[in-house]
Amino acid sequence: MKIGVLALQGGFQEHISALRKLDVDVCEIRTLRDFIAGIDGIILPGGESTTISRLLHETGLFRPLKEHIDQGLPVFGTCAGMILLASEIQDDPVSHLDCIPITVKRNAYGRQLGSFYTHARFEGIGQIPMTFIRAPYIASFKDEVHILAEVNGIQVAAESKKILVTSFHPELTDDLRVHQYFLNKITA
């Protein structure tokens, strides 16, 4: 199995480290050539969603990435990656890849000072550590979306088909179970 990690901006290195701990073949996706080399799934990391979207367009990756996800390429988006994959951003006319029918509220927990760490239940895994950094959350979702985790009654993880999204950063903990959950989605 080979997993690509979008490496244009943001916290991609931590995802690469987590996948390597799971003995997965990993490649950084920076160009169209990297992308078309063949991967079984892709991770869109946290970072700055507007910047990542702009870089996807500049590198020519945006359209092929969207097409492959729409055709079933498994994808895992964390924080900014969730924003990129959402069909709608609350109070913002812009949407990016529009792949999962959720509405997200960006910077929902406030600025950097609003960042926090907690433990909560993730369906199919159990209690896990969750690190939120200027995190979005899922404000609403369509019927085909399955919510996997909530914190204080707010949806922070979901899946639909082969798309997994989290508001939090599992790559910033030593707990590899969310990454393994994504890998299991690929092999299922």
pLDDT of res. 186: 95
Instruction: State how beta strands 86-89 and 100-105 pair.
Output: parallel
Choose, from 15, 96, 169, 179, the residue flagged as catalytic: 169
Q: Is the pLDDT of residue 21 over 60?
A: yes
CA distance 7 to 12: 6
Choose, from 96, 99, 159, 171, the residue flagged as catalytic: 171
pLDDT of res. 175: 97
CA distance 65 to 8: 13
Active site residue 146: no
Choose, from 15, 79, 159, 179, the residue flagged as catalytic: 79
CA distance 124 to 181: 8
- pLDDT (tens digit per residue) in 103-159: 999 877 766 555 889 999 999 999 999 999 888 999 999 999 999 999 999 999 999
Active site residue 27: no
**What pTM, to 2 d.p., does this model score?**
0.95
Ranges of each domain in the chain: 2-187
Per CATH, the number for 2-187 is 3.40.50.880
Active site residue 99: no
Burial-class residue 20 by CB neighbours within 10 Å (0-12, 13-18, 19+).
exposed
